[in-house]
Structure 1
Amino acid sequence: MIDEDVPVLIVGGGGCGLTASLFLSDLGIRHLLVERRESTSVLPRAHYLNQRTMEIFRQHGVADDVYALSAPLANMSEVAWRTSLAGDGPLDARDLHRMDSFGGGSTEVPYAADSPCPSTNLPQHRLEPLLRRHAEERAPGMVRFHHMMEEFTQDEDGVTARITDRATGTTRTVRARYLLGADGGRSIGDTLGVTMEGQGGAWNVISVHFSADLSRWWSGDKVLITNFVSPDGGLISRYGMVAMGPHWGLASEEWALHFHLPAGVDLDLGEEATIARVRELLKLPDLDVTVHQVSRYTPEAVIADTFRVGRVLLAGDAAHRQPPATGLGLNTAVQDAHNAAWKLAAVLGGTADEALLDSYEAERLPVARRSMEWAFFAFRNHGVLHAGLGLMPGAPPEVTQANFRALFADTPMGDTLRARTAEVFATQRVEYQAHDIEIGFHYEQGALVPDGTERPPLDPMGSAHHPVTRPGHRLPHAWLSRGAERVSTQDLVGRAGGFVLITGPAADGWRLAAKRVAQAYGVPLDVVSIGADDETARYRDAEGAWSAVRGVGDDGAVLVRPDQHIAWRGASASPYAERELDEALARALGRPAGATTGRP
């Protein structure tokens, strides 16, 4: 007996599941979300929100609420490396290096040019309640925490799941056409026989979330993250700290301290022992410390061999897990949900063929693999920095301290060592200035029509981004004007799931073709003209930014999907405009072409 029937069942109420819920609500798709926990996360583990994620939040009306709570760019524009936070020894509280980060300082111009949204920082234990509120407001009664999926089966037509209300013990049977697995990899993938491939498990990371007034000692009002490399040696000599708000910069009240333990080593993680450990590492023996949470985790770099099995799609940590370096985990999860949601909506709404769902794996798996590999690379590169300081595994403390004294010495060799340190530490821009990794991911195949052009050059260090309208790439940002209103090109793609055809002022053929093709396929397709003046175009390219990146002529057109990725582009006018646009929209919807012509 079926107790409840929904088009989509989402299992998991973390960042991935909650964003999938609010995206589906905006797309008009009824769904049920179940989460085994009683509340959202109490851990601040994931915290960095990159520009692409904030663009998605902007599209779906969440960005302003996030920015209201999150770190201003001015308080997260620098990362520091130091020997310790405090202390009065000759090697204590010494700077090793500082780097502009996340779109601040020297990185401000390219980051601001490429997106309407600055990156920001909001720890998971504050972000998830915000996302939950939005999800519950958009789907009243359908976001159910403290509900656990006990088991599920699937057939050709859908998924049947047993869901238990953990508060009452009541079990109900839910039938859904599709299941989105966002359970963090707890059970759904295993049930389906999905294999996680990769590496990890060699590190045991302890995270301490605590409150303390560090305003006298913190590395600076611009600093979000401080990495410590202690000359003292000992069990814990490499560790990091992140400001966690709720105020920011020197005013931050909360912090997360992360350190690794060697395999086979354990520590007393009780409250008193942890407070003593925090004081010892920070070299502040009298610091007033309140410990909120102590957690363990083992960083992995693993990815599922498939993201779709029948009627089940895997997303977020259920599909890929990576080390925290570069902050790609939560961001990639939100982007998974964004990709999956519009495709599920199109299939369930009858405008797309179910074959469209095959493009979810074709598009997202390569991107997730690239993110996973990059995060692992950036994570391990910290060892290169330590080697650049002359630190060797197993070296006795006196050798390590001698290396640091030489580094800080007012001698020609000291100058040389400091210059080497600066050059080696600059390589960690792969983590803190990974602009192209964060915003430049693209799809080579899937719900798009390749146009045979070469992808733009990739910066091997992941920083330099080249915005293009090449199919599969994210719609480049450019500021436009409409009367007194200033909008981004990305704002042209609304939250309700329609396509957008961006044309130049001399593209009447594409505009006429779009009207007929949209009617034939039954999909919303907004035609937007952008030109140099208000008389010939709906939006004015006042600053010339769009003409610099559009990649088509005044008589060309660019077809944008609901997830703000390019599906197709036509460089110029064509006598076969209707046929070409018909074929493009068909490919983007996983359908055979010929809706307007009557022939494939």
Structure 2
Amino acid sequence: MSDSEVPVLIVGGGGCGLAASVFLSDMGVEHLLVERRESTSVLPRAHYLNQRTMEILRQHGIAEDVYRASAPPANMEEVVWRTSLAGDGPLDALDLHRIDAFGGGATAAAYAADSPCPSTNLPQHRLEPLLLRHAEERAAGGVRFHHTMEEFTQDESGTSARVTDRATGEQRTVRARYLLAADGGRSIGDSLGVEMDGEGGALDVYSVHFSADLAEWWPGDAVLMTNFVDPDGGLISRYGMVALGPRWGLECREWALHFHLPPETTPDLGTEAVTATVRGLLKLPDLDLTVHQVSHYRPEAVVASSFRVGGVFLAGDAAHRQPPATGLGLNSAIQDAHNIAWKLGAVLGGGADTSLLDTYEAERLPVAHRNVDWAMYAFRNHAVIHAGLGIFPGQPPETTRATIRALFSGTPMGETRRARAAEVFATQRVEYQAHDIEIGHYYRTGALEPDSSDPPPRDPMGCTYRPVTRPGHRLPHAWLTRDGNRVSTLDLVGPRGGYVLITGPSAAGWVAAGERIAAAHGVTLKVVPVDADPEVGGYHDVDGGWSAVKEIGDDGAVLVRPDNHIAWRSVRGGPRSAEELDAVFRGILGRTDVTTTGS
């Protein structure tokens, strides 16, 4: 006999679990979230939020709160490589390279054209409390920190979990139809026998979260991250820093300094030793700083062999773990939660067969493999940059210093070295300008009806995104107007699980068919005719942005899912188009008992 019953039990209250709670609440799904920690994360590990994630947060009414707290675009336009932050030696505080990043500089136009949402930077220890507030507002009493799921069992109708209140020791049994494992891979996947396939875990990375005023030395108001290549070598010769806020640019006062050590090295992580390490690396021996946290992790590139076992779904770090390069960890986790939430809402609401839940793994697992591989590739590419400078592992310090001096020399070979270095540095756009990786992922199979078209060619460097309305792809962003207000195509889908059918001006047949089919299938379907004529009521493509990407005729239509991915399209309308639309809903929802009279 259970003490309580909920449709969904979420285990884990990090970014993935809290986002899932928000999304499920908006879908009208009752749930319970349990998190073993007393509070949200005190570590600032994940910090970059890409455009796709910000679109999702916009859909669920969170984006503006994030933007208010996060780095303005003007303070995250560049990433810099330097020899050191400060110092008075001849090779100190020299710029090696600067690259436009995250939608800044030369990348700004493409990022702005392809999304209504700029990417942004908000460290995890500030993002999670914000997500927690939204989760608690939507699910009063349904978010329980300092609670641990001790064990669980599955049967044909659901999961029984034993949950302990760590403050009181009280235990209770929670019965749930479905369990979402957002526990960071701590236990649930292992207990189900799910293997993590991949590589990594051999490199020790240490992160120091500290406060200091670095305005005098930080390499510019537009710089978010600085990577260092120390010509003096030593135990730590390559390291990096990222700004953490709460103010930004030259007003930033919190920082994370990341460095790695050779295997078998055991550092002194006491406050005094860490303070000395930070001062030494920055070449600021008298810097006034406060060390908040020191953390350690081993970068991995692993993906779960399965994202679903019975009624248990793995998401976030429980499903995939990758190096921090390209910032794909937390972003992928939130996108996992977004994908499964609307499907759970449809099934638990009675509008879809449980077969819809099979599409979670079919859609998200291939994306996870792509993202994990990409993150490891970008992470390792930093070694290519060092080689491009002429610096190699095990090289004597005097050789490294001579190499850096030659790089800055006024000789013809110095010019050649600088030209080579610039070309090699540019390859790190795979990390800092990965526009297509961030918003160009698509689903080949799943809750969609593929058509015979081929996907667009993808930029092998991950930068150039090509918007299409092909089924499985994210709906392209274009600005429309209605009643004088500007609306993104991505705003047409609301937070509560409805579908949108975007049509051309010849929409009368689609409106009638949409109403009939929606009523028969018990779904919310909004038909949105887009008419280029501003004198006609409705949505208007006043600047031609939608016309440039829609790939359908005036009598065609695009069916958009609740997560803003495209389920189906009819390039040209025809006598059987309504029947096709009805069949698409039957396929997605797995319903064989639906009758659409007159379709």
Normalising by structure 1, report the TM-score.
0.99
CA distance in 2, matches of 1:47, 1:598: 53
Counterpart residue number, 1:544: 544
CA distance in 2, matches of 1:373, 1:587: 32
Is residue 199–residue 301 contact of structure 1 (8 Å, CA) maintained in 2? yes
Q: Displaced runs of 4+ in structure 1, greater than 4 A?
A: none
SS at match of 1:445: coil
Cα shift readout 1:484-529 (whole Å, capped 9, x = no counterpart): 2111001000001101111111132222111111011011101111
Cα shift readout 1:224-267 (whole Å, capped 9, x = no counterpart): 00000010011000000000000000100000000001111111
Is residue 242–residue 255 contact of structure 1 (8 Å, CA) maintained in 2? yes
SS at match of 2:530: strand
Counterpart residue number, 1:554: 554
Structure 2 unaligned residues grouped into runs of 5+: none
Quick one: which amino acid aligns to residue 583 of structure 2? Answer: E
Counterpart residue number, 2:325: 325
Distance 1:187 1:412, change over 3 A: same
CA distance in 2, matches of 1:417, 1:12: 50
Cα shift readout 1:386-441 (whole Å, capped 9, x = no counterpart): 00011111111111111111111111110000000000000000000000000111
SS at match of 2:7: strand
Q: Which moved more, 1:506-515 or 1:124-133?
A: 506-515
Quick one: which amino acid aligns to residue 68 of structure 1? Answer: R
Counterpart residue number, 1:596: 596
Distance 1:598 1:306, change over 3 A: farther
Quick one: which amino acid aligns to residue 171 of structure 2? Answer: T
Q: Tell me if 1:124 matches 2:124.
A: yes
SS at match of 1:356: helix
Matches within 5 A, 1:221-240: 221-240=221-240
- Once the two structures are TM-superposed, the CA of residue 592 in structure 1 deviates from its matched residue by 3.7
- Once the two structures are TM-superposed, the CA of residue 566 in structure 1 deviates from its matched residue by 0.2
SS at match of 2:160: strand
Quick one: which amino acid aligns to residue 43 of structure 1? Answer: L
- Once the two structures are TM-superposed, the CA of residue 578 in structure 1 deviates from its matched residue by 2.2
Normalising by structure 2, report the TM-score.
0.99
Is residue 521–residue 594 contact of structure 2 (8 Å, CA) maintained in 1? no
Quick one: which amino acid aligns to residue 460 of structure 1? Answer: P
Q: Tell me if 1:564 matches 2:580.
A: no
Is residue 507–residue 573 contact of structure 1 (8 Å, CA) maintained in 2? no
Quick one: which amino acid aligns to residue 538 of structure 1? Answer: G
Counterpart residue number, 1:11: 11
Counterpart residue number, 2:271: 271
- Once the two structures are TM-superposed, the CA of residue 593 in structure 1 deviates from its matched residue by 8.1
CA distance in 1, matches of 2:575, 2:492: 27
Quick one: which amino acid aligns to residue 381 of structure 2? Answer: N
Is residue 447–residue 590 contact of structure 1 (8 Å, CA) maintained in 2? no
Quick one: which amino acid aligns to residue 11 of structure 2? Answer: V
Q: Tell me if 1:146 matches 2:146.
A: yes
CA distance in 1, matches of 2:286, 2:72: 31
Counterpart residue number, 1:408: 408
Is residue 205–residue 297 contact of structure 2 (8 Å, CA) maintained in 1? yes
Is residue 210–residue 292 contact of structure 1 (8 Å, CA) maintained in 2? yes
CA distance in 2, matches of 1:597, 1:439: 39
- Once the two structures are TM-superposed, the CA of residue 585 in structure 1 deviates from its matched residue by 1.4
What percentage of residue pairs aligned between the two structures are identical?
72
Counterpart residue number, 2:471: 471
Is residue 198–residue 301 contact of structure 2 (8 Å, CA) maintained in 1? yes
Q: Tell me if 1:95 matches 2:108.
A: no
Cα shift readout 1:98-142 (whole Å, capped 9, x = no counterpart): 000000100000000000000000000000000000000000000
Is residue 450–residue 568 contact of structure 2 (8 Å, CA) maintained in 1? yes
Q: Tell me if 1:176 matches 2:176.
A: yes
Q: Tell me if 1:447 matches 2:422.
A: no
Counterpart residue number, 1:44: 44
Q: Which moved more, 1:263-272 or 1:570-579?
A: 570-579
Quick one: which amino acid aligns to residue 72 of structure 1? Answer: P
CA distance in 2, matches of 1:591, 1:318: 31
CA distance in 1, matches of 2:586, 2:98: 51
SS at match of 1:494: coil
Counterpart residue number, 2:282: 282
Is residue 203–residue 262 contact of structure 1 (8 Å, CA) maintained in 2? yes
Quick one: which amino acid aligns to residue 419 of structure 2? Answer: A
Matches within 5 A, 1:100-115: 100-115=100-115
Quick one: which amino acid aligns to residue 482 of structure 2? Answer: R
Cα shift readout 1:168-225 (whole Å, capped 9, x = no counterpart): 0000000000000000000000111000000001210000000000000001000000
- Once the two structures are TM-superposed, the CA of residue 597 in structure 1 deviates from its matched residue by 5.8
CA distance in 2, matches of 1:272, 1:592: 68
Counterpart residue number, 2:340: 340
Q: Tell me if 1:202 matches 2:166.
A: no
Matches within 5 A, 1:296-335: 296-335=296-335
Is residue 239–residue 259 contact of structure 2 (8 Å, CA) maintained in 1? yes
Counterpart residue number, 1:250: 250
Is residue 205–residue 261 contact of structure 1 (8 Å, CA) maintained in 2? yes
CA distance in 2, matches of 1:121, 1:79: 13
CA distance in 2, matches of 1:469, 1:538: 21
CA distance in 1, matches of 2:535, 2:592: 38
Q: Which moved more, 1:111-120 or 1:390-399?
A: 390-399
Is residue 36–residue 145 contact of structure 1 (8 Å, CA) maintained in 2? yes
Counterpart residue number, 2:55: 55
CA distance in 2, matches of 1:513, 1:402: 74
- Once the two structures are TM-superposed, the CA of residue 591 in structure 1 deviates from its matched residue by 3.1
Is residue 23–residue 338 contact of structure 2 (8 Å, CA) maintained in 1? yes
CA distance in 1, matches of 2:272, 2:555: 70
Quick one: which amino acid aligns to residue 567 of structure 1? Answer: A
Quick one: which amino acid aligns to residue 191 of structure 1? Answer: S
- Once the two structures are TM-superposed, the CA of residue 75 in structure 1 deviates from its matched residue by 0.1
CA distance in 2, matches of 1:449, 1:156: 29
- Once the two structures are TM-superposed, the CA of residue 596 in structure 1 deviates from its matched residue by 1.6
CA distance in 2, matches of 1:458, 1:208: 37
Q: Tell me if 1:76 matches 2:80.
A: no
- Once the two structures are TM-superposed, the CA of residue 537 in structure 1 deviates from its matched residue by 5.2
Counterpart residue number, 1:26: 26
CA distance in 2, matches of 1:270, 1:149: 33
Query: How many aligned positions are there?
Result: 599
What is the root-mean-square deviation in Å for CA atoms of aligned residues? 1.0
CA distance in 1, matches of 2:556, 2:102: 35
CA distance in 2, matches of 1:119, 1:162: 40
CA distance in 2, matches of 1:424, 1:55: 32
Counterpart residue number, 1:375: 375
Matches within 5 A, 1:384-403: 384-403=384-403
Is residue 154–residue 160 contact of structure 1 (8 Å, CA) maintained in 2? yes
Is residue 513–residue 577 contact of structure 1 (8 Å, CA) maintained in 2? no
